[in-house]
Amino acid sequence: MALEDAKNQVDEAFTRQDLRGLSYENAFGGATSFLRRRYTKDLSGVDIAVTGIPFDQAVTHRPGTRFGPRAIREASCLQPFDKPYGWSFNALEEFAVVDYGDMPFDYANVPEVPNRIKAHISNILEAGATPVTLGGDHFITLPILRAIAARHGPIGLIQFDAHSDTWADDDPDRIDHGTFLYKAVREGLVNPVRSVSVGIRTDNPDTLGVTILDAPSVHQDGVPATLKRIREVVGAGPVYVTFDIDALDPAFAPGTGTPVWGGLASWQAAALLRGLQGIDFVGGDIVEVSPPYDTTGATAIAGAHVATDLICLAAARLRG
């Protein structure tokens, strides 16, 4: 069946009729939607909507994450042939997953971007779908959280990152990828008591009450103990997962703006994401993939796998 489909399927991003099911289109050809899902702005009956926000004008060092969504989509073309590995169910068969495309915005009118992001994600939520977002730099998470909190109230946060992103910033008009969590806590979007940052390996003493599980602790304590602690912190209630690709060591993800050595291995990240099955997942993102700094494409491949596991976390919640 798969071989026969491979001979006939092309441009599944536009030609596929069913929102469920695998795709056998040749990985090296055709239109590159995420996991070959249908590109659509019609969210009727959609369970999970993948969308891109190619914004990178809030970075402190190397730009380039505006190309992240495109690169992640292309890298994902290696994955649609089989059910996502490491999960007991097939999210792509059981649920309607679409590619909602990128958010349009005026790149020269940066001040309007936060409200556009909030409105973009709100549209997905109002349609009853769970958003999984491809970034873009880490600033985009702040307006996403504004949309999420408007629907769910203050939420728990699981952040995979090399940096805490809680540097003080009380200027409401500043747009900075290093202060998204500071503002999210100050605005009451995120409950710090139910929030945890995993993989941290830069110094910032003021964590605003967010639990820190730094990279050395993950290496020393192991995945099971780390998962146990994450679950203890977030408890019950809605949780958002944000994954900065620099949580991974640069050996696994060199294509990012602010790489820091000593990070998570890709196998650790995969085990941690899959071990979160059952949390009350209300949305997630993968950010800071910057293709210009990785000629191998390994960073985008890692980003595509993270996004796929976020889809599976959403599907696990929908399964009840």
Q: Is 244 annotated as a binding residue?
A: yes
Q: Is 138 annotated as a binding residue?
A: yes
Q: Is 246 annotated as a binding residue?
A: yes
Q: Is 42 annotated as a binding residue?
A: no
Residue type, 65: T
Q: Is 61 annotated as a binding residue?
A: no
Distance between start and end Cα atoms, the chain: 31
CA distance 16 to 9: 9
Which residues make up each annotated binding site?
A: 138, 161, 163, 165, 244, 246
Which residues make up each annotated binding site for Mn(2+)?
A: 138, 161, 163, 165, 244, 246
